[in-house]
Amino acid sequence: MTNLTAALCAGIALSMVAGTAQAQADAFPAKPIRIIVPFPAGGATDIAARVIADKMGLSWKQAVLVENRPGAGGNVGADFVAKSAPDGYTLVMGITGSHAINTSLYAKMPYDPVKDFEPVTQVAVVPNVIVVHPSVPARTLKELVDLAKRQPGKYDYASLGSGTAAHLGMELFKTSAGIFMVHIPYRGSAPAVADLIGGQVQVMMDGLPSALPHVKAGRLRALAVTSQKRSPAAPDLPTIAESGYPGFYADAWSGLFAPRGTPRAIVDKLAAETQRILNLPDVRERFAGLGAEPVGSTPAEFAQHVQREIDKWARVVKQSGAKVD
């Protein structure tokens, strides 16, 4: 076989593969799609997944089902998808924990958040907010830092649990500000906020949707949000970055992932459809009600974001000493 003949054969083979992949994408979806949410029903991640599923089902005239598989900080549901068929019909709504923090936090991981998934698109970011009990004589972030520096260890801060994005976000801020506060972990936001309102702890980094009603009622005082820009849900609240810590960013985020090996044409089709949905006015309004901001990145952009987050949180986990066996 001459070099020219070999090249022609290779070109024909590549064209056939590309044609097959495109035919698969054109026919997709030909059966119901499942979006796995690795947390219980009712939370912001679950609601966002259901909004997307409903719109996607209407557009593609196929059932798009949301299935909750909670456990191990999101690892149970994510692992299920990592080991599913790479055909685009089983996706996971991953979050900061399942696809960035846990790989450094857990001694043993059942999956690799990079090698075992195809990033589809970042769905949303949900800002966290630093809040204090009204008895704390600080109305700005600078005043809180000054208090903590004058009296190291006087102020305790609550978290939703060790290793959560809010816990590690607060550790990141402590390092950035050069302050010391005692960490008091709770099992979830509700008991932590209850003790914060009761004055048993003085400071907390919590999700903006959870904290904002208490701030508006005067039970808590908000100092700054963790997002890169001010949140439309609380436009008067400055960011931590603009409060003297340039580049600080510690939002919770969510995004769709497919199993590794899912054809690129199908990943691109899923990404384009999700991006379309996230730009619908009623969807943006629904997300705003959750305190979430829709994103809709490309697969490549999302992959870069995930890697940056893995690297960032690995440093924070190491500094904080947080571990889950």
What is the number of other CB atoms lying within 10 angstroms of the CB of residue 301? 15
The reply to whether 154 and 65 lie within a common domain is: no
Residue 320's pLDDT band, with cuts at 50, 70 and 90, is confident
Residue 3's pLDDT band, with cuts at 50, 70 and 90, is low
The reply to whether 66 and 122 lie within a common domain is: yes
C-alpha closest to that of 256 among 299, 304, 292: 299
Phi, psi of 208 (to 5 degrees): -55, -40
Specify the number of domains making up the chain: 2
* Residue 216 within any structural domain of the chain: yes
8 Å CB contact between 232 and 224: no
> E strands of 7-144, at which residues?
33-37, 64-68, 90-95, 117-126, 128-132
* Residue 1 within any structural domain of the chain: no
**Residue type at 22?**
Q
For 205-218, write each residue's pLDDT tens digit: 998 888 989 999 99
Phi, psi of 220 (to 5 degrees): -135, 160
Q: Given this model, what pLDDT does residue 66 score? A: 97
For 286-305, write each residue's pLDDT tens digit: 998 888 899 999 999 999 99
The reply to whether 229 and 297 lie within a common domain is: no
The pTM of the full predicted model, rounded to 2 decimals, is: 0.84
**Cα atoms in the 13 Å half-sphere on the side-chain side of 169:** 31
For 115-143, write each residue's pLDDT tens digit: 999 999 999 999 999 999 999 999 999 99
Look at 185-189, 238-242, 292-296 and tell me which has the smallest mean pLDDT: 185-189
Domain CATH for 73: 3.40.190.150
Q: Which domain holds residue 163?
A: 135-243
Measured between alpha carbons, how far is residue 15 from residues 8, 266, 297 in Å?
11, 17, 29
Q: Which residues is 125 bridged to in the sheet?
A: 253, 293
The reply to whether 146 and 232 lie within a common domain is: yes
Q: Given this model, what pLDDT does residue 163 score? A: 85
* Residue 260 within any structural domain of the chain: yes
Q: Given this model, what pLDDT does residue 8 score? A: 67
Look at 13-27, 86-100, 146-160, 210-224 and tell me which has the smallest mean pLDDT: 13-27
The reply to whether 112 and 152 lie within a common domain is: no
